[in-house]
Amino acid sequence: MFKIGFIGLGIMGKPMAKNLLKAGYELTVFDINNEAVREVTASGAKEGKSSADVAAQSDLIITMLPNSPEVEQVVLGNNGVLATARPGTILVDMSSIAPLVSRKLSDKLAGKGIIMLDAPVSGGEPKAIEGTLAIMVGGPEEAFNRVKDVLSAMGSSVKLVGDIGSGNVTKLANQIIVALNIAAMSEAMVLATKAGVDPEKVYQAIRGGLAGSTVLDAKMPLVLNGNFKPGFRIELHIKDLMNVLDTADEIDSPVMLTEKVLEIMKSLRDEGKAKDDHGGLIQYYEKLAKIQVRKKQ
């Protein structure tokens, strides 16, 4: 069984690490947030002193970090993974970062005999807690097959989609669809509410038809209760859509709808709502329409 190092115990990483412990894996963890480290070590993990210390004790390293710069720093920076990881180690980066960065890191690690997979996730905090994330993986098939059981302790869907970087391309596609679904839901429900129709009844009427979706079922009940506590923060979705735009620009692919939703999210961020759940995007439409989409009391 792998000795696993886990670096990054944020909203997603902490429950993911706990699910690995529940599955019986030996875990050494590191994060700059000491409270998160204490919580996970209380569940049975060992505490690492740094990314390098974690790497030295592990033959499988998992990173779950905010964005490309943080992953680069943890892997390539002073006291980072590359400094101490042994040849044959597998690094699985489960962060959502730019695909080109995944490929660059993979090349650097390969020079020391370290294999990298990029394996971003979808499902937000609730599915991270449940261990039912969708995990989309890029990298060598042999390495994927070796770690699939580990990933399955954190997700209910674990799919290899291609070479290194393909996982993050798939995540970008996922984030486009999620963002546009939320925007469509917001636009539709504000229209229905302003037209005098109960939005909860509209939701129940359409959820079983072609307009129904996982996004609609996850976000509409929260909107109806005015609950924008983050499962996935607007600021993080902005980060992902910025990576979409950068990637689209590199390969000359049109993303006009994504650009518009990104503008809406940035507007909400500027109003102090960056840490709201991305379902809170509806607040942009509510403000313009001067109405709120809420459950009738």
Catalytic residue numbers read: 171
Q: Running DSSP on this structure, what letter comes out for residue 206?
A: H
Write down the residue that tokens 């000795």 correspond to.
3
H-helix or E-strand containing 131? none
Pairing relationship of beta strands 3-7 and 115-118 according to DSSP bridges: unpaired
Distance CA 171, CA 105 (A): 18
Quote the tokens at residue 197. 């129709």
Write down the residue that tokens 């597998």 correspond to.
90
Contact yes or no for 13/6 (Cβ under 8 A) = yes
Residues 6+ away with beta carbon under 8 Å from 42: none
Beta-bridge partners for 155: 133
Number of residues assigned to the chain: 297
Contact yes or no for 150/122 (Cβ under 8 A) = no
Hey, is 94 helix, strand or coil?
coil
Hey, is 52 helix, strand or coil?
helix
Quote the tokens at residue 124. 């937000």
Least Cα distance to 57 among 94, 27, 24 occurs for 27
Residues 6+ away with beta carbon under 8 Å from 151: 92, 119, 135, 137, 158
Quote the tokens at residue 270. 């500027």
